[in-house]
Structure 1
Amino acid sequence: MTTSASTTNNPRVAVVTGTSSGIGEAVVKKLCDLGHQVLAVDFNPAGKAVAEAAGAAFFEADLTDADACRAAIDDAVKRFGSVDILVNNAGIQHVSPIESFPEQKWRQIIDLMLTAPFLLSQAAWPHMREGGWGRIVNIASVHAQVASPGKSAYISAKHGMIGLTKTAALEGGEQGITANAICPAYVKTPLVDNQIADQAKLHGMEEQEVIEKIMLKNAAVKRLIEPSEVAEMVAFLCADTAGAVTGSSWNIDLGWTAQ
């Protein structure tokens, strides 16, 4: 799915989280290419160079902090006057059985990947409502639809994100605000690269076996997904022409959930 500048109709103000690499970096670049004003938000200061290379502004924030979530939206409003698009992408991963899963890591993952999208949506909502137009796109995962061993916090957060997406869609419909989730399978990102060694340790496998026997086991298309493919879907959902699309979960899962 390719979204040209003509299909966006109007340049908007977008806030994208988790932007120093991977999906977030690709989304920032795509939205900037489409003419939107973009604030890239990441806890990693190296994300500033990534954002500036794409033509975006940068805001450094640890989104497990509620005040930082609100500050990110405030910064976008101060810079650009409003917030029209919110892409909740920031995420981390930890692989461990439930029995030994660290409580601190559980709380960190839930705070970053479920509570932060709620707080960011809450802070952006009045600006979208005032403008009568808004797009919330939550980057969920195929693990918002299915589960895998060792990922209790990640999977719980992603399942919760689907519920948040549906609720936001119902509440935002009459105000011109849409909310959708994108559910990719394994995307070629540093986050996935870091998982390979963890999965290999958990399952007693070689790293190449993890890719073939775990990551691509249930895929009809036997490859990892490119970040740009997810960014194209984000661009479609953020376009004026997607105004009738809300409350949906869009699988980019290589056929994983077709079984």
Structure 2
Amino acid sequence: MSLNGKTAVVTGSNSGIGLGVARSLAGAGANIVLNSFTDRDEDHALAKQLAEEFGVGVRYIQADMSKGDQCRALIEKAGQVDILVNNAGIQHVAPIDEFPVDKWDAIIAINMSSAFHTTAAALPGMRKSGWGRIINVASAHGLRASPYKSAYVTAKHGVVGMTKTVALETAKDPITCNAICPGYVLTPLVEAQIPDTAKEYKMSEDEVVEKVILAKQPSKQFVTVEQIGDMAIFLCSPAADQLTGQPIAMDGGWTAA
């Protein structure tokens, strides 16, 4: 699958899932726009590193995904946007009656509303060019709930709903909109939590992975960022031309029950 000549904007992509997806798309030949809320030398160095590694154009554009105007400005600054990957997200865990209002507002803004703003800004260009792919990184929590994650679950359910709506609105265009719904993903952030969790529960690290972190994931294996990246490439391929409006669960069987 070659994405030569296409440009992909990936929000929240200087680490974790976003960076993994960006690397996969770059490996398929797409030019990449990386994004996060910081504007550090290392962010721009990361863009340069990817450009050299994959031989594609890579830029880093700072934008705070909690701000609607900055979301739209990101798309404007990117110029050509053939592939939009809405990945930016944050998390906070608390009972709903104790959930901090500022955390609720930030999670809804970054995890859900940002995808509205970027999609609304990118669609006219996709229609004009005659091709587009919108890929929303949702979550198994867009299909199932867990306690103490009210804002995150609400946002991810909202993203799945918006995915279906955008798919219907673009059904007669050569544009698709789908949501990837991963279960637990082995990112550096998760990996770093395993030793401390093992001490807290007085378990081995392997036991923590199986019995605590992956308790809901029947495969007892993490989803990898490479697998999510490969799914993104598939969604950009001609084989997926008629695949639209779908929440695609990549969760080791979590949502099968």
Alignment TM-score > 0.5, same fold: yes
- Give ranges in structure 1 of 5+ residues lacking alignment: none
The separation in 2 between residues aligned to 1:109 and 1:35, in whole angstroms, is 32
The separation in 2 between residues aligned to 1:163 and 1:199, in whole angstroms, is 34
The separation in 2 between residues aligned to 1:136 and 1:51, in whole angstroms, is 22
1:118-197 matches, within 5 Å, as 118-193=116-191
In the alignment, structure 1 residue 35 sits paired with structure 2 residue 33: no
**What is the CA distance between 1:197 and its match in structure 2?**
9.5
The separation in 1 between residues aligned to 2:236 and 2:9, in whole angstroms, is 12
The separation in 2 between residues aligned to 1:191 and 1:144, in whole angstroms, is 21
* Map of 2:72 onto structure 1: 70
Q: Which has the higher contact order (CA 8 A, sep 6+)?
A: 1
* Map of 1:115 onto structure 2: 113
Number of equivalent positions: 247
The separation in 2 between residues aligned to 1:210 and 1:151, in whole angstroms, is 20
213-222 vs 13-22, greater mean Cα deviation = 213-222
**What is the CA distance between 1:158 and its match in structure 2?**
0.3
**Identity between Structure 1 and Structure 2 (%):** 46
Amino acid at match of 1:51: A
The separation in 2 between residues aligned to 1:198 and 1:244, in whole angstroms, is 45
In the alignment, structure 1 residue 24 sits paired with structure 2 residue 18: yes
Q: Pick from 49, 53, 56: which aligns with 2:49?
A: 53
Q: Pick from 207, 216, 219: which aligns with 2:217?
A: 219
Instruction: Answer yes or no: is the 8 Å Cα contact 1:196–1:210 preserved in 2.
Output: yes
Provide, for residues 135-181 of structure 1, a one-character-per-residue CA deviation record: whole Å limited to 9, x for no partner.
00000001111111111111110000000000000001112111000
**What is the CA distance between 1:199 and its match in structure 2?**
8.6
Change (3 A) 1:109 1:197: farther
1:239-258 matches, within 5 Å, as 239-258=237-256
Change (3 A) 1:20 1:71: same
Instruction: Answer yes or no: is the 8 Å Cα contact 1:19–1:51 preserved in 2.
Output: no
Instruction: Answer yes or no: is the 8 Å Cα contact 1:25–1:50 preserved in 2.
Output: no
Amino acid at match of 2:113: T
**What is the CA distance between 1:218 and its match in structure 2?**
2.3
**What is the CA distance between 1:51 and its match in structure 2?**
2.5
The separation in 2 between residues aligned to 1:205 and 1:143, in whole angstroms, is 24
**What is the CA distance between 1:28 and its match in structure 2?**
1.0
In the alignment, structure 1 residue 92 sits paired with structure 2 residue 90: yes
* Map of 2:8 onto structure 1: 14
Amino acid at match of 1:49: A
**What is the CA distance between 1:34 and its match in structure 2?**
1.2
**What is the CA distance between 1:224 and its match in structure 2?**
1.6
Structure 1: 4+ residue segments shifted above 4 A: 193-200, 204-210
The separation in 1 between residues aligned to 2:237 and 2:165, in whole angstroms, is 21
Give 3-state SS (helix, strand or coil) of 2:65's partner: coil
The separation in 2 between residues aligned to 1:132 and 1:182, in whole angstroms, is 23
Instruction: Answer yes or no: is the 8 Å Cα contact 1:93–1:191 preserved in 2.
Output: no
The separation in 1 between residues aligned to 2:208 and 2:128, in whole angstroms, is 48
The separation in 1 between residues aligned to 2:182 and 2:149, in whole angstroms, is 16
Change (3 A) 1:206 1:227: farther
The separation in 2 between residues aligned to 1:67 and 1:43, in whole angstroms, is 13
The separation in 1 between residues aligned to 2:71 and 2:117, in whole angstroms, is 6
The separation in 2 between residues aligned to 1:89 and 1:48, in whole angstroms, is 19
The separation in 1 between residues aligned to 2:111 and 2:210, in whole angstroms, is 27
Give 3-state SS (helix, strand or coil) of 1:40's partner: strand
Change (3 A) 1:153 1:69: same
